Structure 1
Amino acid sequence: MDRPTPLDRIRVGSAPDSWGVWFPDDPRQVPWERFLDEVRQAGYEWIELGPYGYLPTDPARLTEEVAARGLKVSAGTVFTSLHRGPAGWEETWAHVSQVAALTRAVGAGHLVVIPSFWRDDRTAEILEPPELTTEQWAHLTKGMERLGHEVREAYGLELVVHPHADTHIDTEAHVGRFLDSTDSALVNLCLDTGHYAYCGGDSVRLIETYGERIGYLHLKQVDPDVLAEVVADGVPFGPAVQRGVMCEPPTGVPELGPVLEAAQKLGVELFAIVEQDMYPCEPDAPLPVATRTRRFLRSCGA
C-alpha cells in the first residue's frame, strides 16, 4: 500500500466544538478540564479557544493549563454584525478586543470571525433577510477590512473570516463576492469544509481559485442524505446538527484528502482545525470520534 504524501505544511488541531461546546457555559457541555485532557489524549497538539469564557480567561492560568498538557493555541473566535454599519463599531470592538487580547496572550496568531446569523439557529426565527442590500455589503466588506487592520495593529493577529450556514457569507456566490470586495492584505478566509459543502460549495475549487486568500482551514464533513432532508424541510443550522448533518470523517463530503492536498500545494503553512459539530452530545461521545478522526487524517498524510 502506497504511503500518502506527507502534508508537511498542514498543522492539524481540534477545537471545543468537537467536544460539543457551543457556549461559554452550558450544563450539557463537558467541563473545560476534560476537554483539554481529552483533546491531547486523542492525539492533537493544537486547539482553538472556542466561545470566550469556556476556557479560563486569565492569560496566566490558561497558558499554564494548556502548556501542562503539551498543547498550543492556534486561534480565538469572535462573532460580528458588521453589515449593520459603523454605528455598531464600538460594541463590536469591545467584544473583539477582549478575545483578541487573550488570543495574543497565549501565543496564537489568528482570529476567526463568524458573521451573525440571519436565522436563529435554535428557533428558526427569521432575524433578518438572508440577502444583504448593496449598502449592507459595503458595510460588511469595509467593516471587515477595518477590523483586520485594527486587530493587526493592536494585537498582531491575522483576521480570517469563516463562511457559515445561515449567515450572509455562506454560498459560493456570497463567498466569492466577499473575497472580490475585500483587500487580501487586511482580511482572508477561514475555509470551513463542512459549512461550505452545507451551502453547496466546492472546497477544492475554492482553494484552487482563491488560493492566496485561504488563510486557515476548519475540517468537517456533511452527510449528503441528511443535508437533502434539512434543505427540503427548511431546517435551521442548530436543529440540523442535532439531526446529524455534520458527520464523522470519512463518511461524508467533501473528501478531506483532496482538500488537504490542494491546501498543501499552496506552499504556505496552514492550520487545519477539526470542528466536529456535536452540540448537544453525551459526554463520552467526543473522545472516540476525535481519536478516529485524528487517525484518519494521519492516513491522509496530515
Structure 2
Amino acid sequence: MSVPRPEAAVLDRIRVGSAPDSWGVWFPDDERQVPWQRFLDEVAGAGYEWIELGPYGYLPSDAGRLREETGRRGLRVSAGTVFTSLHRGPATWDATWAHVAKVAALTQAMGARHLVVIPSFWRDDKTAEIIEDSELTAEQWRNLASGMERLGREVRDRYGLDIVVHPHADTHIDSEAHVERFLDATDPDLVNLCLDTGHYAYCGGDSVKLIETYGERIGYLHLKQVAPDILADVVRNGTPFGPAVAQGVMCEPPRGEPPLEPVLAAAQRLGVDLFAIVEQDMYPCAPDAPLPIAERTRRFLRSCGA
C-alpha cells in the first residue's frame, strides 16, 4: 500500500523566480552563453514570473526596451547584481560607485527593490589564478564592513534600494564563521544578506541554522543545491569554484544538498515577504540544457508549496 505524500506547506510569503545564471550566463557577453532573447523566452515558458538582471549588459540596459521585452513575456525584475572589492579600502570607492550606480539606476527603473552585492573573488573564477590572500586582515575586515555600510546608505538614499550581500565561494564572505563575523560587524539597518543555499552549503554552512539565528538579517534568497559527491572531490583537491561548476558541483533540486523544503519552511516562519530566486550555476552549458531543468525545478518548488 502506498503512503500518501504529506501536503505541501503553504509558502505564501515566498516569491519564486529564476535568473540568467540558471541558463549558464556569468558574463555580459560570451559566445558560450545563450542570447538574452532566448533566456527571456525560456524563463517565462518554464513558469517563472520574477527574474534578476544578471551581469550588467547581458539584458538590454535601456530601461524602456527592457520593460517592453519583459512586460510582453509577463516577467518582472526582482533585483540587480553588482560585484565589489570594498575590503581594499576607500581608494576603491569611486570605481565601485561608477559600476553600482549604473546597475542601481536600471534596477530602480525596472521597479525592483533589491541590489545583490557579491564580494570580489580572491581566486579568479575562469583562470583559477590566486589574486590575493583568502583571509582578510583586521584592517580589511573593517574596510569591508564600513564600505558595505556606506554602500547600503548611498544605494538606499539615491535609488531607494536595499542591498543584500551574497556569501559566495572563493570570496572573503563564504563560511559560517566569515558570514557571522560580517553580520556582527555591520548595521542591520543598512546591510542584510542574500542567502544562497548552494554557496553556503559549498562552504560548509547550514542554511536553516543561519535563518533561525540571524533571521532578521535575511533579506533575499537564492535557491541552489550542491552535489555531495562532487563537492567532496572539490574539497579534497582544492578545486577553484569555476572548474568545480564545470564539473557539475551545483545540481538541480531535489538531487543535492541542502534539502530545500526545510529552508523554505524556515524562511516562511520569518513572517516577511522574501524573494527566492533559483540559481543553478551552469557555466558553461549546452544551450538546450537549461530549459528542461528549469521546468522540472519549477514543478518541484510548486510541490513544496512555493
Structure-1-length-normalised TM-score: 0.99
Read off the aligned partner of 2:72 and give its amino acid letter. A
Tell me the SS of whatever aligns to 1:159: strand
- The aligned counterpart of 1:127 is 131
Q: Deviations over 1:51-92 (max 9, x none)?
A: 000000001000110001000000000000000000110000
Provide the C-alpha distance between the structure 1 equivalents of 2:192 and 2:10, rounded to a whole number of angstroms.
Answer: 25
Q: 1:78 aligns with which of 77, 82, 85?
A: 82
Asked if residue 299 in structure 1 is aligned to residue 287 in structure 2, the reply is: no
Q: 1:41 aligns with which of 42, 45, 49?
A: 45
Q: Show structure 2 runs of 5+ residues with no match.
A: none
Read off the aligned partner of 2:192 and give its amino acid letter. N
Asked if residue 58 in structure 1 is aligned to residue 89 in structure 2, the reply is: no
Q: 1:191 aligns with which of 195, 200, 217?
A: 195
Asked if residue 257 in structure 1 is aligned to residue 257 in structure 2, the reply is: no
Asked if residue 223 in structure 1 is aligned to residue 227 in structure 2, the reply is: yes
Read off the aligned partner of 1:74 and give its amino acid letter. S
Tell me the SS of whatever aligns to 1:282: coil
Identity fraction in percent: 79
CA RMSD of aligned residues (A): 0.5
Tell me the SS of whatever aligns to 1:169: coil
Moved over 4 A (4+): none
- The number of equivalent residue pairs is 302
Q: Show structure 1 runs of 5+ residues with no match.
A: none
Provide the C-alpha distance between the structure 1 equivalents of 2:207 and 2:238, rounded to a whole number of angstroms.
Answer: 23
Provide the C-alpha distance between the structure 1 equivalents of 2:179 and 2:248, rounded to a whole number of angstroms.
Answer: 25
Alignment of 1:85-234 (within 5 A): 85-234=89-238
1:281: how far off? 0.5
Asked if residue 8 in structure 1 is aligned to residue 35 in structure 2, the reply is: no
Asked if residue 31 in structure 1 is aligned to residue 71 in structure 2, the reply is: no
Provide the C-alpha distance between the structure 2 equivalents of 1:78 and 1:262, rounded to a whole number of angstroms.
Answer: 27
Asked if residue 273 in structure 1 is aligned to residue 286 in structure 2, the reply is: no
Tell me the SS of whatever aligns to 1:148: helix
Q: Which moved more, 1:146-155 or 1:116-125?
A: 116-125
1:121: how far off? 1.2
- The aligned counterpart of 1:240 is 244
Tell me the SS of whatever aligns to 2:187: coil
